[in-house]
Structure 1
């Protein structure tokens, strides 16, 4: 499953020269990942309260290719590209029109809080199917 998350660069996202402050790319990746999971599986707030699952970050990376400026309209194209038992990787591509301005990824753990202590657990097959990574056996 792919998701496109639109963003308008606001004044507080930029520095005095009008260039986006780099940590905002990580904030936008986090927002895009939560939106992707919400559309594929369940909103993250319900995942946490109803299924006792949280998605802590294990690793992040972002490569900046072009500056963004105040009032730029961009899209974050996100998809889960890999699942390894208890961990999944979300790839993000930032686009202004057709131009790729940044790209990166996040690795997150599928983590249960059911016993009161966070513990990584295997990602259920139905979730992997919702991410588009496991073929339906039928």
Structure 2
């Protein structure tokens, strides 16, 4: 079972549209931050270090599915619960639940890869490093 890490996000006035509702792309920005926070909280070194030690330059997104349930507005404090739902050979599914207290506002699943860089500079998927899998539970 994967660890579950909580990332806290405070909603500011500028995160909202004229109706005072969080503009939906901001949820994806916060989820992206929660993704990296998950790895940091699990003890994974910065990507600059994993590039040197494992050849991993990051975890780019290759697919996403979201379900918006309730709205959020400025002044809200959100908790983004993040875990790994599934490990695959060269990718993984990262799962998120965005809550305001006990209220579920959004659910999202992302498929990400562990990316490496070829000699020509292009990016390709790498097998999921066992050391990172162990750290993340």
TM-score, normalisation: structure 1: 0.88
| 1:66 and 2:66 aligned | no
| 1:131 and 2:136 aligned | yes
1:100 to 101, 104, 107: 104
Give the Cα separation in 2 of the matches to 1:46 and 1:12: 34
Give the Cα separation in 1 of the matches to 2:48 and 2:110: 19
Superposed CA RMSD in Å reads 1.6
- Cα deviation for residue 52 of structure 1 reads 3.5
| Structure 1 residues without counterparts, runs of 5 or longer | 133-138
Number of aligned residue pairs: 132
Give the Cα separation in 1 of the matches to 2:47 and 2:109: 18
Instruction: Determine if contact 2:115/2:125 at 8 Å carries over to the other structure.
Output: yes
The worse-fitting range, judged by mean Cα deviation, of 115-124 and 79-88 is: 115-124
1:9-44 Cα offsets, whole Å, 9 max, x none, are 011110111100001111111000011112222234
Equivalent residue, structure 2, for 1:25: 27
Any idea what SS the aligned residue of 1:38 has?
A: helix
1:33-58 Cα offsets, whole Å, 9 max, x none, are 01111222223444346544121110
Report matched runs for 1:1-138 at 5 Å.
1-40=3-42, 41-48=44-51, 51-53=54-56, 54-113=58-117, 115=119, 116-132=121-137
The worse-fitting range, judged by mean Cα deviation, of 38-47 and 54-63 is: 38-47
Q: 1:21 to 1:52 in 2, by over 3 A?
A: same
Give the Cα separation in 2 of the matches to 1:124 and 1:50: 11
Give the Cα separation in 2 of the matches to 1:34 and 1:84: 19
1:52-105 Cα offsets, whole Å, 9 max, x none, are 412111001211100101110110000011111000111000010011111101
